[in-house]
């Protein structure tokens, strides 16, 4: 692409560094900002600078936070005895959006994946073990993606906290709502038959 | 979406104001920036603020520019007698990328479209007429999109500059390279037969 303006080129280059945004999309976004009032662009760039420079990670659960402890950890209405272990912040947002979970979280910051060079040491597993050893937690729920890496991580952590004898569960696997049986993979279907549930429990 | 951080929420909201970017994509982009060094985010937001506050529009051709006159208008190597009229800046970038045009441009800033409430007064047609009347220009090439609005605009401007008796042309319409005859619309195919060209000229 040939630009007649270096300022435009610089902005397009910065946008196209973002994942999934090519040069053409970047140009479209920059030209959109150029059409809007200057205040809009200022707000946009301020929001990003502030977010990047001021955002913190909760010292307790490693979730994203504006303060040292996140709003979930400091909320007295949430059950301290229920701990949900997730891979990343996006999973926290997804679960929070269901409004069905009233416990606290622990963000691992990744998942054990030797092929990608990610071992247990790079994840916040030590702090999780410490939290569990404190004794407040009654049940730990693993909400990790249902694949080999996820299962490995669950297995690894479960072994690490075995001595505390707390209840360890994982989110239910099965056919998704709106999914169709005939298109479900064999593994999911097989597991959903093995782990069938009483209708009385299902219609609650 | 439920966020535990207002800074994160603000950044996601700003990103999702951009065209074609929803909340989920915005979150993905923000989390990407969060993973990169702080300097990257600073560069990103600086590029946008600078672009928006310092960019100018060329006083001569209305193209985007870092200075009062754009680099194309001030380039002594480019032919002043050849003027290409385009709808917007994106078209300038597209034509410049072909490296086949060595004249100057005139950016209309839109196209006559009564349905969208855009009349000739909102476009930079007056300045185009003045440029043509100066007498330097020998040929004016219309590179507008081939639709009713484009043709209307060409017709309107052609009438306005009729008295100068300069040569008025438009970019060739026809079957695109790599296009297939059987999928071409009737209008394009009909025109490409009417305006057939000698093979000698084609293979030049």
Distance CA B40, CA A11 (A): 12
Half-sphere exposure of residue A184: CA atoms within 13 angstroms, side-chain side: 17
Count Cβ atoms below 10 Å from residue A57 Cβ, excluding itself: 18
| Chain B residues with CB-CB distance to A60 below 8 A | none
Assess A196–B contact: CB distance below 8 Å, yes or no: no
ipTM: 0.79
Q: Does domain A6-54 have CATH number 3.30.360.10?
A: no
Q: What is the mean pLDDT of residues A37-51?
A: 93
Q: Is the pLDDT of residue B106 over 80?
A: yes
| Chain A residues with CB-CB distance to B57 below 8 A | none
pLDDT value of residue A188: 82
Contact B47 A14 (CB under 8 A): yes
Assess B190–A contact: CB distance below 8 Å, yes or no: no
Assess A54–B contact: CB distance below 8 Å, yes or no: yes
Q: Output the CA torsion B75→B79→B82→B86 (10° steps).
A: -20
pLDDT value of residue B192: 80
**CATH code of the domain made up of B79-171:** 3.40.1360.10
Q: From the candidates A42, A43, A44, A96, which should be mutated to test the interface with B, based on the most B CB atoms within 10 A?
A: A44
| Chain B residues with CB-CB distance to A15 below 8 A | 44
* DSSP assignment string, B40-94: HHHHHHHHHHHHHHH-EE-TTT--EESSSS-TTTT-TTS-TTEEEEESSHHHHHH
Nearest by CB to B7, from A28, A50, A71: name it.
A50
Nearest chain A alpha carbon to B42: A49
Assess B37–A contact: CB distance below 8 Å, yes or no: no
Q: Does domain A77-171 have CATH number 3.40.1360.10?
A: yes
Q: Is the pLDDT of residue A197 over 90?
A: no
pLDDT value of residue A201: 67
Q: What is the pLDDT of residues B36-65, one digit of tens each?
A: 999 999 999 999 999 999 999 999 999 999
Give the whole-number percent of chain B exceeding pLDDT 90: 64
| Chain A residues with CB-CB distance to B52 below 8 A | 33-34, 38, 41-42
Q: What is the pLDDT of residues B127-173, one digit of tens each?
A: 999 999 998 899 999 999 888 899 999 999 999 998 998 999 988 88
Nearest chain B alpha carbon to A48: B11
pLDDT value of residue B188: 82
Domain boundaries of chain A, sorted by first residue: 6-54, 77-171
Q: Is the pLDDT of residue B202 over 80?
A: no
Contact A31 B97 (CB under 8 A): no
Lowest pLDDT segment from A193-202, B23-32, B127-136: A193-202
CB A81 within 8 A of CB A135: no
Q: Does domain B6-53 have CATH number 2.60.40.3950?
A: no
Q: What is the pLDDT of residues A138-186, one digit of tens each?
A: 999 999 988 889 999 999 999 999 999 899 998 888 888 777 878 888 8
Q: How confident is the model at residue A97 (pLDDT cuts 50, 70, 90)?
A: confident
């Amino acid at each position: 692409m040939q630009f007649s303006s270096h300022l435009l080129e610089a902005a397009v280059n910065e946008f196209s560094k973002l994942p999934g945004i090519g040069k053409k999309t970047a140009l479209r976004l920059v030209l959109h900002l150029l059409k809007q009032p200057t205040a809009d662009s200022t707000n946009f760039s301020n929001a990003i600078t502030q977010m990047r420079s001021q955002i913190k990670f909760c010292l307790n659960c490693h979730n994203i936070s504006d303060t040292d402890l996140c709003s979930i950890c400091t909320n007295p209405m949430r059950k301290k005895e229920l701990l949900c272990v997730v891979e990343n912040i996006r999973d926290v947002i997804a679960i929070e959006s269901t409004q069905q979970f009233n416990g606290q979280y622990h963000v691992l910051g990744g998942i054990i994946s030797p092929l990608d060079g990610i071992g247990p040491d790079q994840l916040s597993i030590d702090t999780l073990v410490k939290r569990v050893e404190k004794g407040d937690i009654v049940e730990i729920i693993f909400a990790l993606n249902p694949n080999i890496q996820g299962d490995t991580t669950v297995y690894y952590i479960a072994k690490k906290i075995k001595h505390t004898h707390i209840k360890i569960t994982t989110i239910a696997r099965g056919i998704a709502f709106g999914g169709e049986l005939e298109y479900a993979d064999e593994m999911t279907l097989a597991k959903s038959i093995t782990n069938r549930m009483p209708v009385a429990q299902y219609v609650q």
